[in-house]
Amino acid sequence: MTSRTSRLTVGDGTRIAYRDHPSPSPGPSVLLLHGLAGHLGEWDDLAARMESSGYRVVSYDARGHGESTRRPASVSRAAHVEDAVTLLRELDLAPAILVGQSLGGHTAMLLAADHPGLVHSLALVEAGPAGRSPELPGEIAGWLDSWPLPFRSLEEATAFLGHEAWARGLEERADGLRPRFDRDTLVRTMTELSADGYWPQWSRIRCPTLLVRGASGTMKPSEAAEMVALRPDTRTAVVPGAAHDVHLDQPELLHREIEKFLADESTRRSP
- What are the residues whose beta carbons fall under 8 Å from the beta carbon of 201, sequence distance 6 or more? 109, 110, 113, 114, 129
Q: What is the dihedral of CA 64, 194, 249, 111, to 10 degrees?
A: -70
Our measurement of the distance from residue 42's CA atom to the centroid of its chain's CA atoms, rounded to an integer in Å, reads 9
Q: What is the pLDDT of residues 91-148, one digit of tens each?
A: 999 999 999 999 999 999 999 999 999 999 999 999 999 866 888 899 999 999 999 9
Burial 87-109 (b: 16+ CB within 10 A, else e): bbeebebbbbbbbbbbbbbbbbb
Question: Quick one: how many helices (H) and strands (E) in the chain?
Answer: 11, 10
Per the structure, the count of domains in the chain is 1
Residue 156 has a pLDDT of: 97
* Other Cβ atoms within 10 Å of 114 Cβ, number: 16
Per-residue pLDDT, 270: 56
Whether residue 12 lies inside any domain: the answer is yes
Q: Is residue 189 in some structural domain?
A: no
3-state secondary structure of 119: strand
Task: Report the C-alpha gap between 119 and 108 in whole angstroms.
Answer: 9
Q: How many residues does the chain have?
A: 271
Pairing assessment for the beta strands 56-60 and 15-21 based on DSSP bridges: antiparallel
15 - beta bridge partners? 9
* 120 within a domain of the structure (yes/no): yes
Burial zone of 250 (CB within 10 Å; 0-12 exposed, 13-18 middle, 19+ buried)? buried
Sign of CA dihedral 86, 92, 94, 97: negative
Residue 169: inside a domain = no
Q: Is 78 a member of any domain?
A: yes
Domain encompassing residue 52: 5-132+196-266
- pLDDT on residue 132: 66
Look at residue 107 and tell me if it is in a domain.
yes
User: CA-to-CA distance for 169 and 163, rounded, in angstroms?
Assistant: 10
pTM here? 0.96
Contacts of 138 (CB under 8 A, 6+ apart): none
* Residue 158, domain member (yes or no): no
Cα–Cα nearest to 101, from 58, 48, 39, 163: 39
Low-confidence ranges of the chain (pLDDT < 50): 1
- Quote the CA–CA distance of 267 and 271 in Å, as a whole number: 8
Position 104 in a domain: yes
- Which CATH number does the domain housing residue 37 bear? 3.40.50.1820
